[in-house]
Amino acid sequence: MDAAANGIQEPFDLIRLSLSERVFVKLRGDRELNGILHAYDGHMNLILSDVEETIMIIDQVEGAPEGHTTVNIAKRKMDMLFVRGDGVILVSPPSRT
């Protein structure tokens, strides 16, 4: 499938085509979001609704040799969320098949 045929010529075109659709957003600090994209701007500030946030918490195991860690996952849901663009690492649009 040709990207130009879909109207994608610049990176923000892909974001524009994902408005009102569920997107995956990776953030700094081992955080991930999955929600419906309502708005964005040139700084990559995002407005999402029906959001599920996943936080990976990496803890050093007490008494274990250095390098041994445990990974705990915490999840929470929010109705509406503003995401500041300087924390955004990646935005993945829904798969289009």
Q: For residue 21, what is the DSSP state?
A: S
Query: Rounded distance, CA 96 to CA 49, Å?
Result: 21
At 6 the three-state DSSP class reads: helix
Residue with tokens 């509406």: 80
Per-residue pLDDT 10s for the chain (97 aa) are 555 556 788 989 989 999 999 999 999 999 999 999 999 999 999 999 999 999 999 888 777 777 788 889 999 999 999 999 999 999 998 876 6
Neighbouring C-beta atoms of residue 30, cutoff 10 Å: 13
Residue with tokens 């979001």: 33
Supply the pTM of this predicted model: 0.83
How confident is the model at residue 51, as a pLDDT? 98
